Copies of this chain bind each other. A is one copy, B any other.
Amino acid sequence: MRVAYRIWLDNDGKAFGEGPYRLLKGIEKTGSLRQAAAEQCISYRKAWLILKDIEKRLGFRILERQVGGVSGGGSVLTAPGKSLMKRYERFRAEANKALEQIFRKHFRS
């Protein structure tokens, strides 16, 4: 037996969690919302709507579109978007550690 969980940030509805995190991670890696969406097996339009909803709920912009340039443009994360990712990563790691410990305390002793 093990502990399992889903955890997310909420602001009158889901504001940020594992799915959006992976999407941002993909954008950071590929520099492209389209590619990041494909990696998560969701449409470009759905990915875009997810990000717009997060931006609305959190009150800051996450995505910065870059137009033109050698690569023909793409998407990068804003500074608050990057900060959100980093904070979420640390939050998730600590939450996981704490939940495992609390689980062991109550169910393995």
- Which residues of A are in contact with B by a Cβ distance under 8 Å? 1-11, 14-15, 57-58, 87-88, 90-91, 94-95, 98-99, 102-103, 105-107
> A14's closest neighbor in chain B, by CB?
B4
Which chain B positions have C-beta within 8 A of A90? 106
Would you call A98 and B106 a contact (CB within 8 A)? no
> A107's closest neighbor in chain B, by CB?
B87
Known: A90-B106, A107-B91. A1 touches B58 (CB 8 A): yes
How many angstroms from the CA of A94 to the CA of B9 in the assembled complex? 19
> A17's closest neighbor in chain B, by CB?
B4
Known: A3-B9, A4-B10. 13 other contacts (CB 8 A): A1-B57, A4-B8, A4-B14, A5-B7, A5-B8, A6-B6, A7-B99, A87-B107, A91-B102, A91-B106, A94-B105, A98-B98, A98-B99
